[in-house]
Amino acid sequence: MVDIIHRIGIKAPLAKVYEAVSTAKGIAGWWSETTTGESKLGGAITSVFHAPDGKEIGRMVFELVKLEPGKKVQWRFTAGPEEWVGTDLTFDFSRDGDQTLIVFGHRNWREAVEFMAHCSMKWATFLLSLRELAETGTGRPSPDDLKIDNWN
């Protein structure tokens, strides 16, 4: 099993960052605009991705398997790209000075395929989008997300 891990600091209150990764409304502000579902422990959330021309290019479903306010949020993918099913997203929070720090993980990939390299780069840009959302009120969710390569 292999993991993508990133670390980012956000100049915003921890509660605000926590909300942005633990509720459908928050996630819609930085990952995919089209995000709906139940924002509670065990709840299922669906994020749909579209190309700029409106065509659906991805549909991810995950459960909120851990919600520990101020500490940790964990998603588990139940549908989406075949490589993602059964993988987990983890957000571990701490504070230092004026920053909320996140250690982010997309964990338990079966192998380090080229698509994982794409996703690692893409998650980094989505974490920058999350920071923009928390610091300024406006993120850059799909379909307005930064394109990074020929796979989107």
Write the binding mask 43 to 82 for a second copy: x where contact by CB under 8 A, - elsewhere. Answer: ----------------------------------------
Single-letter amino acid, residue 110: R
The window from 19-27, 52-60, 68-76, 116-124 that contacts a second copy (CB under 8 A) reads 116-124
- Does 111 bind a second copy (CB under 8 A)? Our answer is no
How far is the C-alpha of 38 from the C-alpha of 40, rounded, in Å?
6
Classify burial at 36, counting beta carbons within 10 Å of its beta carbon; exposed 0-12, middle 13-18, buried 19 or more: middle
Nearer to a second copy, 59 or 107 (CB): 107
- Does 97 bind a second copy (CB under 8 A)? Our answer is yes
What are phi and psi for residue 46, nearest 5 degrees? -120, 130
Give the DSSP H or E segment for 151: none
Which residue in the set 87, 104, 134, 139 belongs to the binding site for a second copy (CB under 8 A)? 104
